[in-house]
Chain A
Amino acid sequence: MLWVELYHYWVFAILLMIGLFGVIAKRNLVKKLVGLSLFQSAVFLFYITMGKVDGGTAPIVGMTDSTDVFSNPLPQVLILTAIVVGISTTALGLSIVVRIKEAYGSIEEDVIHEKDRAE
């Protein structure tokens, strides 16, 4: 069955695009950041999905007695570190939003643009 083999990738595509929609269409800066982290999570899911092997186990030697087939550990390594880096960069973005709010009194993009133009 084709869809069983591919539906993980489709979910990835849908999540990715929901995140992108949030970034483009929403004018609220926090909403944009949420969209960005959604986008990021979709990429994580894509990597982990590609690493999965049918009948495999988590890549830890000796957890099961059977002849070990491991899922690919390399994407897991990349994504593990990427998650922590992701939260750090999100925090950086949020702190900039906080400063924008303090300077402009709003986090809506159109209000900020109007204030910029008025000056």
Chain B
Amino acid sequence: MVEILNIFIMLMLVITALAMVSSRHLFVTVMLSGIFSLLIAASFLLLDAADVALTEAAVGAGISTVLFLGALALMDVEETTRGVRRIRMVSLIVVAVTTIFIVHATFYMPAFGDINAPIHQHVAPWYIQHVPIHMDIPNIVTGILGSYRGYDTLGEVFVVFTAGIGVLSILGDPIKNRQHRPAHNRGLRHYLIPRLVGRMLIPFIILFGLYVQFHGEYSPGGGFQAGALVAAAIILYALLEGEDKALQVIPMRVLYIMMASGALLYGGVGVAALLMGGNFLDYSVLASTPVAGQQWGILLIEMGVGLTVTGVLITIFHAFAARSNL
């Protein structure tokens, strides 16, 4: 039964992807990419990756679609395709040949789900065995993300932070950009049904985001997912009530502080561990027992991740929105 569902979703993925690339209308492409994200999230769930599915559903289907739509508001949505026939033929050949090579290579891959595959023999069993001992938390993914691969995650947080700064430097300060635009109120204020439904949903989305943040050690979740969810709720609010209202609720100043303080909190936990006699990002020394120290460390860095991701995603949204009617 699961197998049939799997095949069905895979088939839908390919069809959606083909439609995305072949559609001439960019609006259609972007909406299809939202559907694609939901489908691939479902397939992640079937492949036992609950944390990843949650992230993809929040980021891919929610925020990414809004960002693309925000960018599309600034440009033509029709794609003109003149004189591309030759390029298309060449790229078709390249793509076909590469596909043949990759499919050929898959015959040397271990079978799907094979527990004896090399990937399951290396560090993964050690992680699965030691997360309950070292940290005593049920969610192994969170344990690895926060502690064993803490350096990696720190790097990712800084990449997200840098991307936020990059978007701000390219598109300009949202507040300054907004001063140039006409003062009429935007948003979906005059559409009663979206507004009422959205109003009812937003508190629950934020509540779920907080649950995902603070329950991430026990169930699927963590700072990345929570950040995306809370950001999605605020963006929904901005879409419904207009950006002015959203900027009153969370001003740009607060967003900047959130972006920076999250990354700072993460790095600070690392430095604190260093000062207390451990290695950088070695949380064992943070509390009286190593296990409690690990739990404190993971809780704190997840909070840092959540803050930075929320701040950056909302900032990026405002940067695009403020540009839209310059």
Report A's interface with B, CB cutoff 8 A: 4-22, 24-28, 30-31, 34-35, 37-38, 41, 44-45, 48-63, 69-92, 94-99, 101-102, 106-108, 110
Contacts and interface: CB of A to CB of B under 8 A. Distances in A.
A57 B43 CA distance: 14
B21 A22 contact: yes
A6 B170 contact: no
Nearest to A111: B80
Nearest to A74: B124
Contacts of A14: 14, 17, 99
A70 to B, nearest CB: 5
B91 to A, nearest CB: 4
Contact of A98 (B60, B74, B98, B131): B74
B47 interface: yes
**Interface range on chain B: under 10, 10 to 19, 20 to 34, or 35 or more?**
35 or more
Given A49-B112, A81-B224, A98-B74, 8 more contacts: A5-B112, A5-B114, A22-B20, A53-B115, A61-B138, A73-B144, A91-B163, A95-B166
23 contacts: A6-B111, A7-B112, A8-B6, A21-B21, A24-B91, A24-B94, A25-B84, A26-B21, A27-B87, A37-B33, A38-B20, A41-B36, A59-B139, A59-B141, A60-B220, A72-B124, A73-B128, A81-B145, A81-B156, A84-B59, A90-B67, A91-B167, A106-B76
Contacts of A59: 48, 128, 139-141
Contacts of A72: 119-120, 124
Given A26-B21, A30-B71, A80-B141, A17 B95 contact: yes
A13 B67 contact: no
Task: Specify the main secondary structure of chain B where it touches its partner.
Answer: helix
Contacts of B113: 5, 52-56
Given A49-B112, A72-B119, A94 B160 contact: no
B48 A6 contact: no
A61 B142 CA distance: 12
Contacts of B14: 11, 14-15, 18
Nearest to B43: A45
Given A52-B112, A62-B138, A94-B68, A80 B224 contact: yes
Contacts of B170: 92, 95-96, 98-99
A85 B17 contact: no
Contacts of B47: 48-49, 51-52, 71
A99 B172 CA distance: 10
